[in-house]
Structure 1
Amino acid sequence: MKFIQNILILLFLSFAVLSCKKDNPNNPENIKTDLPNYGNIDLDDIFQRKDNRLENKDSIVSVIKNYYENVWEKGDLWGGFLVAKGDKILYEGYRGFAQDNNQEPITEDVPLHVASVSKTLTAMAMLKLVEGGLAKLDDPVTKFFPNFPYPKVTIFTLLSQRSGLPKYEYFIEKIQPQPAELSKKFLTNQDILNMLIRYKPDLSRDTDTGFMYCNTNYALLALIIEKISKIPFPEAMQQIVFRPLKMKNTYIFQVKDTATAAKSFYQRGPKLYPYDRLDEIYGDKNVYTTPRDLLNFSKAMFAKNFLQHDLYQKIFEPYSNEKPGINNYGLGFRMKIFDNNEKLTYHNGWWHGTNSVFGHLLKSNVTIIAIGNKYSRRIYSALALSGLFENFPYETEKFNKEMNQTDSLKTSTGKDSVDSYSE
């Protein structure tokens, strides 16, 4: 009799677990979508044991710990920091607060704004739609918005920052008389598109003649993703990227989130950085995520089935070669190409009081993530840790310089001592 009772209890518990699993909306197995998505990736089966192996691990972790203590703790940086080799976290730290008056301590589960690192996620969602045959890289924007006044601009030139389009944050200020849209408290992506169509501002440079970093490109990509998916961009990103990759604390910020979303702060005070009318525009920014969620995304990008091979290869191809130098841009990724042919792939971010770094090191399977919500350019120094893992002499030099300056965090001008890092 007792045996039968035990069997019944086991059956009940199994049913309960399965029911919970079935009802959990963040469970990738239960994501219902007709959109191409990253649900085919098993995050637990990307790396082999050798991929996680690191020579001199103890000494490298000691250096990273020393960096965090000297730069983050002594510099009173707020936010989240993580370095991983393969799927093994080598070091992580969290400090500061997400809300005003020292409310809500930042932990591994508190989403922070990653600013322009959002571009990388937007780009990968767009590429997944291309892989699924719902768009082509050479599709002109006019295919989706027939009245768009720049016929040579394509999905590719948006992704690679070669469209030549004017920056929305500047061109809207020059329109006279002032457009009705500018009387709104918050502008939308559609407002930006409408003003481009109505006022036809001059291109900042001829399309596909060179690199020009421009938020307009990625605001338009978000609209194209909406057009193709037939759902709002925040939900499209959930279905294509966030839920399949178990990024359970990640979302696209909207005005409805202003009360609960983590805030950004001025360095001094710290004083709260207020929202402005550009804060609801997404695609170029407005991904709120955590270092651990972003690590899931980075891990997925190391997977062989992240994208079909020929499309994946295009992500890290340098497309802006007109001007010699180490800096270049692929599809949603910045890169530094050194004289020794080594390539550092990453993206930085800055918006209001937010500074962020996302380093995705191709050879060493290393991920470097730094998200700060109290303005400081010193956040960008995290990328220099890449020199611990791959042959990036320039980054190693910057790292040594940074560590030698930890006793003097400010220059005589009152600015951050590290001026060579930028978004």
Structure 2
Amino acid sequence: MNFRKVITSVLIVLSVVSCKKEKESASETYDSKLPNYSNVDLEKVFTPEELTLPNQASILSQINNYYQKVWEQGDLSGGILVAKGSRIIFEKYRGFGREGKQMPIDENTPLHVASVSKTMTAMAVLKLVEAGKLKLEDNVTKFFPKFPYTEITVFSLLSQRSGLPKYEHFDQGIKPAPEELKKEFLTNQDVVNMLIKYKPELARLSNTGFMYCNTNFALLALIVEKVTKTPFPEAMQEIVFKPLKMNHTYIFQKKNIPTASQSFFSGYRLYPLGNLDLIYGDKNVYTTPRDLLNFSVALYSKDFLKPELEAKIFEPYSNEKKGINNYGFGFRMKNFDNGEKLTYHNGWWHGTNSVFAHLLKSKVTIIAIGNKYSGKVYSALSLSGLFEDFPFEKDKFNKTMNPVGAGEKDSASAGNGEL
């Protein structure tokens, strides 16, 4: 009898403990082991009124027609998503993630977003600024004392104003070509080591104007590592991905080669990996449109990054000459004559093409990721003209839907042949 009572008591205790654990699990929030990277409640960023889209039926009809014409008829591979605030209004996936038409792409398939990665690297840097771990005015020499370009700062790197040579052209800019370039895979540390060792000439004087350069963000990734004393792939999980519940997002590393989605030429001919394919910061975020939407929603929030820092992301910093195009911190922008501003970033690397538009006024996010090379993916940016008064984008959308002549070059893809 006593034995039965003991067993009963034990079962009751176990049941209470189990229930307690379930409740704790249900209310579990992510606690980073790095400081000051708290959660943002993505479900509370927008009010129900802010999720309402005027003329939704008409807009969805136009987006659906666009998808059928460009993605289905063009046999693109990848995913496209359009959201009003945090509410997805259009989402489609097609194609395959790995050779042999393996890994059918769906909402949970991480794809390489190439230079769209810069938007997330910039966020990690700004979170460290917010935490007081570094300053925008810090010289790169603070982190790499032998760095030969003493006038370059964190701000110079973020705003693409450093004038540094592009690492993908080191074989042309350093003579004779460095032995390091013969490695199977170069690392970010290799990039900074070659800058220190060979001191190649700047491509333009630092801080005198905009020059798009992947070296900038490869160095920023190393600075994140230095400041956090954590490898960049893990630091990005701690600072950005986990707090924003980007559960299918990671930084591509050598260990991921056997399982990660691949990129292709037309006809699903595999685009082989090269020796620059493990450098990160400028590229190598693998994510899904839904995860990237979480990042976009966090950018709309006032709770993930201090508003005064977030405003710096979308400031145009290269104003030496007049023009529509400009660059903030990890974001491109088009400043139209009518006062409207289109903030976005495109990506290209090997067979990957991507678009990430974060519309400040309408709170609309447009994401397109293709893993079978086609400039047609960039036409997704023209959908922005359906939501805000972006005259050029409206024209591009009309031309995409109603091309003037057969074989006409896709105007939306012009000027996007960079990482």
**Structure 2 Cα separation of the partners of residues 421 and 179 of structure 1:** 30
How far off its partner does 1:10 sit? Answer: 8.4
Match of 2:304 in 1: 306
Answer whether contact 1:149 1:196 (CA < 8 A) is retained.
Answer: yes
**Structure 1 Cα separation of the partners of residues 347 and 385 of structure 2:** 20
Match of 1:159 in 2: 158
Identify if the C-alpha distance between structure 1 residues 421 and 58 changes in structure 2 by more than 3 Å, giving closer, same or farther.
Answer: farther
Match of 1:216 in 2: 215
How far off its partner does 1:133 sit? Answer: 0.5
Answer whether contact 2:99 2:270 (CA < 8 A) is retained.
Answer: yes
Match of 1:420 in 2: 414
Match of 2:343 in 1: 345
**Structure 2 Cα separation of the partners of residues 192 and 372 of structure 1:** 28
The one-letter code of the counterpart of 1:243 is: K
**Structure 2 Cα separation of the partners of residues 71 and 165 of structure 1:** 37
The one-letter code of the counterpart of 2:202 is: L
**Structure 2 Cα separation of the partners of residues 387 and 292 of structure 1:** 22
Post-superposition Cα deviations, 1:249-303, rounded to whole Å, max 9, x if no partner, equal 0000011111101000002x22000000000000000000000000000000000
Selected match of 2:275 from 277, 291, 295: 277
The one-letter code of the counterpart of 1:368 is: I
Q: How does 1:203-352 map to 2 (within 5 A)?
A: 203-267=202-266, 269-352=267-350
3-state SS in 2 of match to 1:83: strand
How far off its partner does 1:323 sit? Answer: 1.9
**Structure 1 Cα separation of the partners of residues 255 and 240 of structure 2:** 22
**Structure 2 Cα separation of the partners of residues 209 and 67 of structure 1:** 41
Match of 1:73 in 2: 72
Q: How does 1:173-212 map to 2 (within 5 A)?
A: 173-212=172-211
Asked if 1:63 corresponds to 2:62, the answer is yes
3-state SS in 1 of match to 2:19: helix
**Structure 1 Cα separation of the partners of residues 114 and 152 of structure 2:** 24
Post-superposition Cα deviations, 1:334-385, rounded to whole Å, max 9, x if no partner, equal 0000000100000000000000000000011100000000000110110111
Answer whether contact 1:380 1:421 (CA < 8 A) is retained.
Answer: no
Answer whether contact 1:161 1:217 (CA < 8 A) is retained.
Answer: yes
Answer whether contact 1:162 1:207 (CA < 8 A) is retained.
Answer: yes
Match of 1:382 in 2: 380
Aligned residues: 407
Asked if 1:371 corresponds to 2:376, the answer is no
TM (norm. structure 2) is: 0.93
**Structure 2 Cα separation of the partners of residues 420 and 275 of structure 1:** 25
Answer whether contact 1:377 1:421 (CA < 8 A) is retained.
Answer: no
Match of 1:87 in 2: 86
The one-letter code of the counterpart of 1:183 is: K
**Structure 2 Cα separation of the partners of residues 160 and 418 of structure 1:** 24
**Structure 2 Cα separation of the partners of residues 177 and 384 of structure 1:** 44
How far off its partner does 1:314 sit? Answer: 1.0
**Structure 1 Cα separation of the partners of residues 370 and 90 of structure 2:** 16
Answer whether contact 1:306 1:312 (CA < 8 A) is retained.
Answer: no
User: Which stretch of structure 1 is more off in the superposition, 237-246 or 57-66?
Assistant: 57-66
Which sections of structure 1, spanning at least 5 residues, go unmatched? Answer: 1-6
Q: Name the % identity.
A: 63
How far off its partner does 1:400 sit? Answer: 0.3
3-state SS in 2 of match to 1:283: coil
The one-letter code of the counterpart of 1:14 is: C
How far off its partner does 1:54 sit? Answer: 1.0
3-state SS in 2 of match to 1:150: coil
Which sections of structure 2, spanning at least 5 residues, go unmatched? Answer: 1-11
How far off its partner does 1:12 sit? Answer: 7.1
3-state SS in 2 of match to 1:370: strand
3-state SS in 1 of match to 2:268: coil
**Structure 2 Cα separation of the partners of residues 101 and 9 of structure 1:** 50
Answer whether contact 2:364 2:387 (CA < 8 A) is retained.
Answer: yes
Answer whether contact 2:39 2:244 (CA < 8 A) is retained.
Answer: no
**Structure 2 Cα separation of the partners of residues 212 and 407 of structure 1:** 34
Answer whether contact 2:107 2:290 (CA < 8 A) is retained.
Answer: yes
Match of 1:54 in 2: 53
Match of 2:140 in 1: 141
3-state SS in 1 of match to 2:297: helix
The one-letter code of the counterpart of 2:329 is: L
Match of 2:100 in 1: 101
Match of 2:352 in 1: 354
Answer whether contact 2:45 2:300 (CA < 8 A) is retained.
Answer: yes
Post-superposition Cα deviations, 1:97-147, rounded to whole Å, max 9, x if no partner, equal 000010010000000000000000000000000011000001000001000
Match of 2:31 in 1: 31
**Structure 2 Cα separation of the partners of residues 57 and 382 of structure 1:** 18
**Structure 2 Cα separation of the partners of residues 364 and 96 of structure 1:** 31
Match of 2:39 in 1: 40
Answer whether contact 1:376 1:416 (CA < 8 A) is retained.
Answer: no
3-state SS in 2 of match to 1:318: coil
How far off its partner does 1:416 sit? Answer: 5.5
TM (norm. structure 1) is: 0.92
How far off its partner does 1:417 sit? Answer: 6.9
**Structure 2 Cα separation of the partners of residues 416 and 327 of structure 1:** 19
**Structure 1 Cα separation of the partners of residues 278 and 127 of structure 2:** 24
